Amino acid sequence: MDGFIDTIEWIAAAFVGVVVTITFINVLMRYLFSSSIPDGHDIGAMLLGILIFWGIAATSYRGTHITVDFVWGMANPKWKRYIDIFATLVLLFVVAVQTYTLLDKVVDTWRSNALTYDLRIPTWPFTAVAWIGDVSAVLLIAIRTWRLIFHPEEIEDRSEIKPVD
């Protein structure tokens, strides 16, 4: 299971590298040659969308997304675990609904045959890859929920959480 989680995190990291590379090359070409990569802006924007959804998968499992831990910080370990379980269940519900609605966007983009401006590249594969990232987020959040409930010792970011007696 940890290999699956690590693979998703590496995919998210690869998209960061691709977006940075395209942006860097595009800026360099603009300043040096008064030109740019054809569809560089469109491809970069779509890859950024993909990166966001794959990033949701990576950060949701590790619990490294932005949080407000005022109440959690004051709670004892038992209540911290309950708060984490509740928050993760809410996150699972929200991301599952988002995944369902994003599938509709993928289908609509495919049916509309939307293309990029310069190279006429179909845009639906970009939305499909973003959707796969969202599906990965649902899977990882479900794994996190399972581990929080049944194996809290396997959650790395909250080492002080102990099983409820």
pTM: 0.81
Note every long-range contact of 147-153, with CB atoms under 8 Å and residues 24 or more positions apart, other chains counting.
148/81, 148/84, 148/85, 148/88, 149/85, 152/81
Beta bridge pairs of residue 115: 122
Task: Please state the domain extents for the chain.
Answer: 2-154
Share of the chain above pLDDT 70, in %: 90
Cα(46)–Cα(40) distance, integer angstroms: 10
Q: Is the pLDDT of residue 83 over 70?
A: yes
User: In which band, very low, low, confident or very high, does the pLDDT at 163 lie, cut at 50, 70 and 90?
Assistant: very low
The better pLDDT of the pair 157, 46 is held by 46
The DSSP symbol for 115 reads: B
Residue with the two structure tokens 């939307």: 114
Cα(141)–Cα(161) distance, integer angstroms: 18
Chain length of the chain: 165
Q: Is the pLDDT of residue 158 over 50?
A: no
What is the biggest distance separating any 2 CA atoms in the chain, rounded to whole angstroms?
A: 67
Burial of 121 (0-12, 13-18, 19+ CB in 10 A): middle
Q: Is the pLDDT of residue 101 over 90?
A: yes
What is the predicted pLDDT for the residue at 74?
Answer: 87
Q: Is the pLDDT of residue 33 over 90?
A: yes
Q: Is the pLDDT of residue 69 over 80?
A: no
pLDDT in tens, 117-145: 999 999 999 999 999 999 999 999 999 99
CA–centroid distance for 153 within its chain: 24
Phi, psi for 110 (deg, rounded to 5): -65, -45
What is the predicted pLDDT for the residue at 71?
Answer: 82
